[in-house]
A = this chain, B = another copy of it.
Amino acid sequence: MDRDTKHNKAMAKQKAAVDDAISKADIEQGVSVLLTGDGKGKTSSAFGMVIRALGYGQRVGIVQFIKGAQPSGEETYVKNHLPDVTLYQMGTGFTWDTQDRAGDIAAAERTWEQARAMLEDVTYDLVVLDELTYMLAFDYLPEQDVIGALTSRPAGQSVVVTGRGGGQALREAMDTVSEVKEIKHAYRAGIMARQGVDY
């Protein structure tokens, strides 16, 4: 058996063991998930969970920090096909421009108010806070307020936070943390971002 096959089989066995351990857990409550790291797949994963939740008829709210200035496939799909999903985007109010720090903080705070309202609303089964970590990175939102709102949400509500970084306190506060590592990315070979995959 070559090295790859050996590694592959180990991975498959690990999957089976984890599936077994998961089936033995017995606390039933909403979960908090942080998808961080520099690799591709964080925002798309959050939107895959939206689809899962909708498959069970759950109510979903999405707040996108940073995004919204440029159209994306997920935004178009939600707007055209998912009228029951609440989608709020920070959009053009945000610049990353250190010359307009006050304007950016105001945009972050305005957006966070939407997120906080969802985290207090027991009718939401799943809340997605896409790219929230960058608001913590730039100290645009107070970390303790954000973590407090995440951890004091309704017991049955799940929440997904995406974005690079995020900090140790956020990692500790979340139930599940995945770090998406970039092993390689098509753009490094000159391949353009692709509609339907990258945005």
Interface string of A157-199 (1 = CB under 8 A from B): 0101001111111010011111111111111111111111111
How many chain A residues touch B (CB < 8 A): the figure is 101
Of B11, B41, B199, the residue contacting A35 (CB under 8 A) is B41
Interface string of A34-46 (1 = CB under 8 A from B): 0101111111111
Give residues of chain A (17-36) contacting chain B, Cβ–Cβ below 8 Å. 18, 21-23, 25-31, 33, 35
Asked if residues B25 and A193 are in contact (CB atoms below 8 Å), the reply is yes
Determine the chain B residues whose CB is within 8 A of the CB of A15 once the complex forms: 38, 134, 164
Closest B residue to A79 by beta carbon equals B55
Asked if residues B191 and A133 are in contact (CB atoms below 8 Å), the reply is no
The answer to whether the Cβ of A113 comes within 8 Å of any Cβ in the partner chain is no
Determine the chain B residues whose CB is within 8 A of the CB of A49 once the complex forms: 44, 196-197
Determine the chain B residues whose CB is within 8 A of the CB of A51 once the complex forms: 44, 47-48, 50-51, 73-74, 77-78
How far is it, in angstroms, between the C-alpha of A185 and the C-alpha of B126 when the chains are bound? 18
Q: What's the least CB distance linking A134 to chain B, in Å?
A: 5
The answer to whether the Cβ of A53 comes within 8 Å of any Cβ in the partner chain is yes
Q: What's the least CB distance linking A92 to chain B, in Å?
A: 16
Q: Which 9 A-B pairs have the closest CB atoms?
A: A44-B48, A55-B73, A52-B73, A11-B165, A8-B137, A53-B196, A47-B48, A11-B164, A39-B178
Q: A8-B138, A22-B187, A52-B74 are in contact. List 16 more A-B contacts (CB 8 A).
A: A22-B193, A25-B186, A25-B192, A30-B194, A42-B45, A43-B48, A51-B73, A52-B197, A54-B73, A54-B81, A55-B73, A58-B196, A158-B194, A158-B197, A174-B184, A177-B184
Taking beta carbons and an 8 Å cutoff, which residues of A are in contact with B? 3-5, 7-12, 14-16, 18, 21-23, 25-31, 33, 35, 37-56, 58, 72-78, 80-81, 96, 125-126, 133-134, 136-139, 143, 158, 160, 163-169, 171, 174-199
